Amino acid sequence: MAVNQSDIEKLAELAKLEISTEAAGATADSISQVLELVDQLQAADTSGVAPMAHPLDAVQRLRADQVTETDQRDTLQAMAPATEDGLYLVPRVIE
Amino acid sequence: MHTKTIAQLIEGLRSKEFSSVELTRHYLQRIKERDGTYNSYITVTEEAALAQAEAADQRLAAGDDSPLCGVPIAHKDIFCTTGIRTSCGSKMLDNFIAPYDATIVENYQKAGAVMLGKTNMDEFAMGSSNETSYYGPVKNPWNTNCVPGGSSGGSAAAVAALLAPAATASDTGGSIRQPAALCNLTGLKPTYGRVSRWGMIAFASSLDQAGTLTRTAEDSAIMLNAMASFDAKDSTCVDQPLEDYTAGLSNSLQGLTIGIPEEYFGEGLNPQTAERVQAAIKVYESLGATTKSISLPHTHLAVPAYYVIAPAECSANLSRFDGVRYGHRCDDPKDLADLYKRSRGEGFGDEVKRRILVGTYALSAGYYDAYYNKAQQVRRLIKQDFVDAFNQVDVVLGPTSPSPAFEFGAKSDDPVAMYLEDIYTIATNLAGLPGLSIPCGMVDNKPVGLQLIGNYFAEGKLLNVAHQFQLATDFHQQLAPETA
């Protein structure tokens, strides 16, 4: 399936990814090429085949409900672009 | 010292022919003098390396019997290292100092290995040529006009240029085996779940697996011994007993049955590459193995299935890079949406953006069944092909890549042509099987890789089959020009 420039703008909005207007056309072309490649899947007969998520069909392991992590807030926030009083700063969300 | 294999370096350190500090200084000096040509390292950790080497020398003097004690290695820059930048080849993480070590980094530290630095790679491991790195392309030591392969191109070039005796790497669709093939190395991708993914920056979590690039299969076995562990911190790690992967290296291949999949020798395979692989089959026959033609009928669907599953998982994994908690943040965001979009738009390169968008498309409402679900069903068909094959044969053999190393720019404007570079390696990741590439000759003075695929957790068998080939041939001993 081919995608056009407005599809790319919609996908970019969903992915919260800035794609410049100049780049959107070329991006649409290259993504259409990739989608053409993956469209080969449609010809495969997969009736009755269960989707496979883990090669060994393993299921998620659960651990005991115990506190194992120590407080590392200062370490983790040391690499944040902007923090104040232990909080991450972002532009105002609620006016 | 730099032409020695890890097995030989272990001997040299034990017999006090040289100390770990001397060895480490020697490699650091070589990197300084020569890596300007290859660009294989993003970060060289000179101080930390010398401190680790000193500590290793003390451990050796005290009679430490950990095989890798004092041996310098390099880590792909996808593995988190405490206090040292972990960039994943991206502008997004150019300023990221990991607050913890990846489990495999910790495992090598415990074993006494010395970290020389962090190697270059395609951005977020997305690429087959190392041309998508924010830190610039890596050059192939065999021919500096050519790519080293990717995404572990820096690890491969560093080992091939003798700037590290071994390096860690990761493989989501061929990122260890294809660079191994293009740089004349032994590259091992273990079974999915054999090696911990904790602290390895995630690209496609159901496919990603850490492994190694070395010059010999024996070195690969020594490296895997230290790397493999069950890790409760990786929820997909498989609790399988550990084994000594060097133990079976010398087993005879008498009675071994090798499957040759007809689909791996079709259209698209360079005829000279095919000749080298056919010659390798003859070597195996002379070693007592029997070969059997087999079919992996869904091979042609592997690349299409991969380019749904990998981008889908990538779009989910890379949503964590939001410019808020760490990583690149744009200047003067006007609101939160602008902060997200511009931080990500500026931080990611074109290939990463392309895959995020393809993944977003495949997972979006109305398309999920047609793309993601369908690809996961095809994935099971591909796995079943291998299950059927391993009922008849012990290992599967074919080419690693369709052709030898290509020149810079040859495929960078055509994503689909680049994706087909991994046509023989991707199915192994989809099925979760272990795969290995070893040198099997040259075409136009460029290396050719032979791929061996094993059953689940049969890394020991694969390494045995590779080692016996290396006892009978000397392709793996050939060194890139001007490196010795």
Structure tokens at B196: 């911990």
Percent of chain A exceeding pLDDT 90 equals 77
CB environment B246-284: b (16+ within 10 A), e (fewer): bebbeeebeebebbbbebbbeeebeebbbebbeebbebb
Res A55: pLDDT: 85
Res B216: pLDDT: 98
Read off the pLDDT band of A1 (50, 70, 90).
confident
Tens of pLDDT, residue by residue over B187-232, are 999 999 999 999 999 999 999 999 999 999 999 999 999 999 999 9
For testing contact with chain A, the best of B196, B235, B237, B361 (most A CBs within 10 A):
B361
Res B484: pLDDT: 86
CATH topology of domain B6-251: Amidase signature (AS) enzymes (3.90.1300)
With a cut of 90, say whether residue B70 has pLDDT above it. Answer: yes
φ, ψ dihedrals at B146, nearest 5°:
-115, 160
Query: Residues 51 to 90 of A: which have CB under 8 A from any B CB?
Result: 51-56, 58, 60-61, 63, 72, 75-76, 79-82, 88, 90
Query: Mind telling me the catalytic residues of B?
Result: 76, 151, 175
Tell whether B377 is within 8 A of chain A (Cβ): yes
Domain residue limits, chain A: 5-43
Cis amide bond preceding B151, omega within 30:
yes
Q: Looking at residues A22-26, what average pLDDT do you find?
A: 92
Least confident of A60-64, B25-29, B140-144, B242-246: A60-64
Query: What Rg value do the Cα atoms of chain B yield, rounded?
Result: 21
Q: Which residues of B touch A33 (CB under 8 A)?
A: 414-416
Res A58: pLDDT: 82
Q: Which residues of A touch B356 (CB under 8 A)?
A: 15, 17
With a cut of 90, say whether residue B461 has pLDDT above it. Answer: yes
The one-letter code for the residue type at B251 is N
Res A61: pLDDT: 84
Q: Tell me which residue has tokens 């000279």.
A: B272
Res B80: pLDDT: 98
Tell whether B279 is within 8 A of chain A (Cβ): no
Q: Which letter does DSSP use for residue B418 in this model?
A: H
- From the CA of A83, how many Å to the nearest CA of chain B? 9
Percent of chain B exceeding pLDDT 70 equals 100
Domain residue limits, chain B: 6-251
With a cut of 90, say whether residue B464 has pLDDT above it. Answer: yes
Read off the pLDDT band of B319 (50, 70, 90).
very high
Res A53: pLDDT: 86
Res B211: pLDDT: 98
The Cβ-side half-sphere exposure at A58, using a 13 Å CA radius, reads: 18
Minimum CA–CA partner of B333 in chain A:
A91
Read off the pLDDT band of A94 (50, 70, 90).
confident
Q: How far apart are CA B383 and CA B296, in angstroms?
A: 9
φ, ψ dihedrals at B178, nearest 5°:
-70, -45
Tens of pLDDT, residue by residue over B348-368, are 999 999 999 999 999 998 899
Please, are residues B376 and A52 in contact by the beta-carbon 8 Å criterion? yes
Res B316: pLDDT: 97
Query: Residues 123 to 182 of B: which have CB under 8 A from any A CB?
Result: none
Res B145: pLDDT: 98
Tell whether B194 is within 8 A of chain A (Cβ): no
Mean residue pLDDT of chain B comes to 97
- From the CA of B110, how many Å to the nearest CA of chain A? 22
Mean residue pLDDT of chain A comes to 92
CB atoms A41 and B304 under 8 Å: yes
Q: How far apart are CA B374 and CA B372, in angstroms?
A: 5
Res A63: pLDDT: 84
Q: How far apart are CA B113 and CA B220, in angstroms?
A: 14
Interface size A-B, in CB pairs within 8 Å, comes to 173
CB atoms A79 and B95 under 8 Å: yes
The Cβ-side half-sphere exposure at B134, using a 13 Å CA radius, reads: 20
CA distances from B193 to A61, B208, B308, B404, B431 (A): 13, 9, 21, 30, 12
Res A60: pLDDT: 82
Q: How far apart are CA B21 and CA B72, in angstroms?
A: 10
Its ipTM equals 0.96
Please, are residues B480 and B205 in contact by the beta-carbon 8 Å criterion? no
The one-letter code for the residue type at B464 is N
Q: Looking at residues B35-52, what average pLDDT do you find?
A: 98
CB atoms B99 and A30 under 8 Å: no
Read off the pLDDT band of A69 (50, 70, 90).
confident
For testing contact with chain A, the best of B321, B329, B338, B377 (most A CBs within 10 A):
B377
Q: Which residues of B touch A42 (CB under 8 A)?
A: 370, 374
Please, are residues B451 and B400 in contact by the beta-carbon 8 Å criterion? yes
For testing contact with chain B, the best of A4, A37, A76 (most B CBs within 10 A):
A37
Q: Looking at residues B471-476, what average pLDDT do you find?
A: 98
φ, ψ dihedrals at B79, nearest 5°:
-95, 125
The one-letter code for the residue type at A38 is V
Q: Looking at residues B103-117, what average pLDDT do you find?
A: 98
Picking from A14, A41, A52, the nearest residue to B308 by CB comes out as A41
Minimum CA–CA partner of A28 in chain B:
B354
Res A48: pLDDT: 96
Least confident of B38-52, B414-428, B435-449: B414-428
Q: Looking at residues B102-119, what average pLDDT do you find?
A: 98
CB atoms A76 and B95 under 8 Å: no
Q: Looking at residues B168-183, what average pLDDT do you find?
A: 98
Q: Looking at residues B99-120, what average pLDDT do you find?
A: 97
Nearest residue to B128 via CA among B100, B155, B154, B153: B153
Structure tokens at B357: 């968008």
HEC letters along chain A: CCCCHHHHHHHHHHCCCCCCHHHHHHHHHHHHHHHHHHHHHHHCCCCCCCCCCCCCCCCCCCCCCCCCCCCCHHHHHCCCCCEECCEECCCCCCC
